[in-house]
Structure 1
Amino acid sequence: MLLAIDVGNTNITLGLFDGKKLVKNWRAQTLKTDSVQQLWKKIRTRSQNVNGVVIASVVPSLDENLERLCQKFFKQKPLWVNHKTAKMPLRVDKPKEVGADRLCNAIAAWEKYKQPAIVVDFGTATTFDVVTAKGEYGGGPITPGIAIASAALTSTTSKLPAVKIAKPKHVVGRNTVECIQSGLYYGYIGLIDHLLSLIQKEEGCKMKVIATGGLASLIAQESKWIESVEPHLTLEGLYYIHCGNNF
């Protein structure tokens, strides 16, 4: 079994692969102060017969303890995703700065479709990962995630309440909650679709658009560009990267 670990700012997402098949997946809250033992409690109950570990992390404070965990409990060093292990041409100025999760998304999109693509990942931040017609990682915009925008609105105003991020009944809200939901939901759809249009114009071709991350399904309902929602795309990218380093 291959254990794939995606360490994000909000959640740690884990998957177990039996060959190419993702047989289990689960998530736990990211706590940047977790010890080796605390991390193990989040992993151990579902991690059996593991003979390989691959990790993409955007939380450096956890990297050392994850390395120690793998050596202690799995008796092996994990494969860390970075600009070198990804084995994908990078059309960017500073390859070392590209997030490991973004590399996973791009590689999964290329391996699955072999065509120009954009992956929109609705995480703590919303990222757009461009894959060129040559199979290169092309960079892409980063915006605050919808939850961050919602929290900022609540924390910096005196009378606006926290609201559930949801599709409202009306664009022109009939009450404060609905007005905020409309601004967040339709405002982000406008942001997403406009950026997708600009990216394709700049790249000079029609591109396959894939959404992943927590709010992908919600936004995809109204987006004119998003073609598919693939919730396990980042884990699949981890699988492909592991394969690329163990052929």
Structure 2
Amino acid sequence: MILVVDVGNTNITYGVFKGDKMVSSFRMTTGTTRTSDEYGLELLALMNINNVDKDKIEGVMIASVVPKVMHALVNAIVKYIGKKPYLVGPGIKTGIKISLDNPREVGPDLIVDAVAGYEIYGGPVLVVDFGTATTYIMINEKGEFFTGVVCPGIRISAKALWQDTAKLPEIEIKKPAGILAKETISSMQAGLIYGQIGQTKYIIDKMKEESGLMNTKVIATGGLGRLIADETKEIDVYDPILTLRGLQILYEKNRRTKPQLKEFDNQNAPE
């Protein structure tokens, strides 16, 4: 079995794969002040609750967009799981070509989504990831990751509403009964959800139009992806574990070449 780790700005999501089948998944909040022992003990507890034997873990693959947690997290995995993890970054074998002006600026999460989208669904493919940020990336039929769009995620937009206004309350993010709201909470929910639906439709259509790839498959993933995908005919498939599947694919591509563990500049990270 292998352990894959998706370190996002809000949550750290773990997946355990046996071959190409995910047999377990669990998550914790992304805590930038945790020590390696805190990460390690919480990870062991989650593995135990989910009946995952740490001694059967053969390797670990991590993609992270939060460098500050990596020193402690990597040390935790080495100490408590007994494996030196592979990290998605420069030098890793992906099987796709990043045809952007500054390939090294591309986030590991986008690389993983691009690999998963292309390897699983073929090209051309457009992957929409509804995470802390909402990202749109396109990979053509040749396996070239050639463009991307980044927008504020639904939760970021929601926080801006209630943190930057004096009288708007913190609300649950869900689809209201309809857009014709009659009170504050459903008015906010309508603006957030229907606004995201409209944005999603427009960006997908515009990316297809400007690229000329009108037959592109559109795959959605991310925590709030199902909520939007169910309301958007432009999305062909909702795949909630696309990123974890991408990490598993990358592990298999790289396990024989053993890419170097990327060093992070984390002088202020907890030990």
Q: Same fold (TM over 0.5)?
A: yes
Which one of the candidate residues 67, 77, 81 is aligned to 2:84? 77
- The within-5 A match list for 1:147-162 is 147-162=155-170
CA RMSD of aligned residues (A): 1.3
Contact 1:121 1:213 in 2 (8 A): yes
Q: Give deviations 1:150-196, integer Å, cap 9, x for gaps.
A: 11011111111222111111212111111111111111111111000
Structure 1, residues 45-78: CA drift from partner, whole Å, max 9, x if none?
Answer: 3152111000001110111222222322333321
- Write the mapping of 1:49-128 to structure 2, written as runs, cut at 5 A: 49-87=56-94, 88-128=96-136
- The answer to whether the 8 A contact 1:83-1:95 is kept is no
Within the alignment, does 1:7 sit opposite 2:16 as a pair? no
> Any stretches of 5+ residues in structure 2 without a counterpart?
257-271
Q: Which amino acid aligns with 1:10?
A: T
3-state SS of paired residue (1:139): strand
After alignment, is 88-97 or 229-238 more displaced? 88-97
Checking the alignment, whether the CA contact within 8 Å between 2:40 and 2:77 is kept in structure 1 is no
Shift of 1:95: 1.3
State how far apart, in whole Å, the 1-side matches of 2:184 and 2:178 are.
Answer: 12
CA distance in 1, matches of 2:183, 2:80: 53
TM-score using structure 1 length: 0.96
Match runs of 1:9-24 below 5 Å: 9-24=9-24
SS in 2 for 1:141: strand
Question: How far apart in 2 are the matches of 1:165 and 1:115?
Answer: 33
What amino acid does structure 2 have at the position aligned with 1:196? I
How far the C-alpha of 1:203 sits from its partner, in A, is: 1.6
- Displacement after TM superposition at 1:79 (Å): 0.6
Q: Aligned residue for 2:152?
A: 144
Q: How high is the sequence identity, in percent, across the aligned residues?
A: 40
Give the counterpart of 1:226 among 223, 235, 238.
235
SS of the aligned residue for 2:146 comes to coil
Cα distance in 2 for residues equivalent to 1:181 and 1:143: 18
Q: Is the 8 A contact 1:173 1:179 kept in 2?
A: yes
**Which one of the candidate residues 173, 184, 189 is aligned to 1:165?**
173
Of the structure 1 ranges 128-137 and 187-196, higher mean CA displacement relative to structure 2 is found in 128-137
Q: Secondary structure at the match of 1:28?
A: strand
Give the TM-score taking structure 2 as reference length.
0.87
Q: Distance in 2 between matches of 1:187 and 1:86?
A: 38
In terms of mean alpha carbon deviation, does 7-16 or 134-143 score higher? 134-143
In the TM superposition, structure 1's runs of 4+ consecutive aligned residues that sit over 4 Å from their partners are none
- Aligned equivalents of 1:70, 1:165: Cα separation in 2: 34
| SS of corresponding position for 1:22 | strand
Distance (Å, rounded) in 2 between the aligned partners of 1:146 and 1:246: 36
Between the aligned partners of 1:173 and 1:113, the Cα distance in structure 2 is 39
> Where does the alignment leave 5 or more consecutive residues of structure 1 unmatched?
none
Higher RCO (CA 8 Å, separation ≥ 6 residues): 2
Q: Which amino acid aligns with 1:54?
A: M
Is the CA contact 1:123–1:145 (under 8 Å) kept in the aligned structure 2? yes
Please tell me whether the aligned partners of residues 51 and 74 of structure 1 are also in contact (alpha carbons under 8 angstroms). no
For residues 85-142 of structure 1, the C-alpha deviation after alignment (integer angstroms, 9 at most, x for no partner) is 1422101111111111111111011111222111111111111121111111223111
Cα distance between partner residues in 2 of 1:44 and 1:104:
25
User: Shift of residue 41 of structure 1?
Assistant: 2.2
Give the deviation of 1:44 after TM superposition: 1.3
